Amino acid sequence: MFRAPASVIRLLESIRCNFFWGGSGVWRKLTWVRWEKKLLPYGSSGLDIGLLNAKNLALLGKWWWRFKSSQNSLWSKVITSVYGSDRGLGSSNISLSPGCSSTWAHIIKAGSKIDDMGISFISSFSKELGDDSTINFWTDIWVGTTTLREKFGRLYALDMDKPATLENRVLIAGNAITFNWEWARDLRGRALEEFVALSSSISGIQLRSDSTDRMKWSLNSDGVFTAKKLKSLIEEKSIHGGNNVIGTIMNRVVPQKISIFVWRAKQKRIPVRFELDKRGMDLDSVLCPFCGGGIENVDHILSNFRLTSEVWKGFLRWWSILADNITVLDPLLSDPIFNSATIVGKSIWEAVKWVCCYTIWKGRNNKVFKGKEWNSTNIVSEIQSTSYGWISSRVKKLNIEWHQWMQNPRYYVLSNIIGVG
Ligand SMILES: [Zn+2]
């Protein structure tokens, strides 16, 4: 129910990192990518937000809905008595008093965090009018898209009955609606102008006579809040948001760790010896742990050196692609071979290449840390089986049997039998 404290999220992240790196302790100490920087600004560049924070924020968002939609309940009244009529959930300029309980502060802050991601969450709640209205005249959104307090600040300042609900304020006699006002002084100048504008914007209000007010949530088409919908909006923003570079490399056909690995490799941020050395780590050698004949950098280990290129050759044979293409096929870049494939087909092709990179890297680590001998044939088999497992469970309409996957995966990806999964 609370936003998980940063320390907990950090712990979870580090567990994921360790898993990702195969648990070798020394790398944990190196800041390859400043995780915090990547993860904390929930919107712009946080890749991992999707799984940890989105759910968390969405559950906190649910409290906004609860408070806003059941203002007569006891707990809502308690909060109101402590934090004032809008309970800090005003439409803008949320300020927290120092004594604010941390629970409630988390809930309030979650609202602005979600807003910061580019989702208009705080202003997404509005009320449909009922005749026994508990709508707060100034601080609820009930006409237009902002509160009247925001729009008519001078009048609000002069109002002697700021907590007034619509019920208090509106008098209905037959078809005529009049308003109760009590001002601190006579209205003149700008305040009077505001009053004229206010009167015209509320003169046409319709009060429903059949029921009480109903809270509406504008981010869902049926007007009802769900944490699931909010979570998906947050994920959408964080994983595929705008010009987010990471969003464009996410490939949902394979587990997230694969996308992360490739993303890091593209930025030369995987712990090959050359990069470790550059970051000031004291190493016996920066040479390749296999051949010793070249510096171990990202390109060397993932595509250039002899054993790696054996894997790529086997991989390309499996995909019926001429082995010569190895020279033009940068494993980390997209390539035109599958231009005519469907989006899903392309994603699968890309995913399989990524799995190849990832598996090569795993093989490298097995050699360096566990002394396991490199075996190109085994590595290709592993690529075939793990990619099949991942892809067949994630792409719903992929009807490829294991033996077909082994024999001619290219045919199935290029033929349009694979619809959008
Ligand atoms: Zn080498």
Greater model confidence, 329 or 169: 169
> Which pair of structure tokens corresponds to residue 18?
């360790």
User: Do the bridges between strand 214-217 and strand 125-128 make them parallel or antiparallel, or are there none, so unpaired?
Assistant: antiparallel
Report how far ligand 1's centroid is from the alpha carbon of 350 (Å): 25
pLDDT per residue as tens digits for the range 297-352: 988 888 878 888 889 889 988 988 876 656 556 666 666 667 777 667 777 888 89
Segments making up each domain of the chain, as ranges: 1-122+227-241, 130-212, 251-414
Q: What angle do CA 286, 352, 318 make, to 5 degrees?
A: 100
Return the top range by mean pLDDT from 10-14, 212-216, 268-272. 268-272
Report how far ligand 1's centroid is from the alpha carbon of 280 (Å): 21
Q: How far apart, in Å, are the Cα atoms of 95 and each of 62, 91, 111, 374?
A: 20, 11, 12, 59
HEC letters along 24-52: CHHHHCCCCCCHHHHHCCCCCCCCCHHHH
Report how far ligand 1's centroid is from the alpha carbon of 295 (Å): 7
Burial letters 334-346, b for 16+ CB under 10 A, else e: eeebbeebbebbb
Greater model confidence, 98 or 160: 160
Report how far ligand 1's centroid is from the alpha carbon of 308 (Å): 9
Report how far ligand 1's centroid is from the alpha carbon of 246 (Å): 29
Return the top range by mean pLDDT from 83-92, 166-175, 209-218, 299-308. 299-308
Report how far ligand 1's centroid is from the alpha carbon of 345 (Å): 33
Report how far ligand 1's centroid is from the alpha carbon of 382 (Å): 21
Whether the predicted pLDDT of 234 surpasses 70: yes
Report how far ligand 1's centroid is from the alpha carbon of 116 (Å): 46
Amino acid at 251: N
Give residue 49's pLDDT. Answer: 38
pLDDT per residue as tens digits for the range 221-233: 888 899 988 987 8
Report how far ligand 1's centroid is from the alpha carbon of 405 (Å): 31
Report how far ligand 1's centroid is from the alpha carbon of 77 (Å): 69
Give residue 40's pLDDT. Answer: 35
Report how far ligand 1's centroid is from the alpha carbon of 325 (Å): 20
Report how far ligand 1's centroid is from the alpha carbon of 366 (Å): 15
Report how far ligand 1's centroid is from the alpha carbon of 304 (Å): 8
pLDDT per residue as tens digits for the range 107-151: 888 888 888 777 889 888 887 766 556 778 898 888 888 889 999
The closest of 135, 153, 157, 307 to 205, measured between CA atoms, is 135
For the segment 276-280, the average pLDDT, to the nearest whole number, is 81
Amino acid at 366: N
Report how far ligand 1's centroid is from the alpha carbon of 309 (Å): 10
Q: Are 116 and 170 in contact (CB under 8 A)?
A: no
Report how far ligand 1's centroid is from the alpha carbon of 287 (Å): 7
The whole-angstrom separation of Cα 281 and Cα 301 is 19
- First-to-last CA distance in the chain? 34
The closest of 1, 68, 38 to 225, measured between CA atoms, is 68
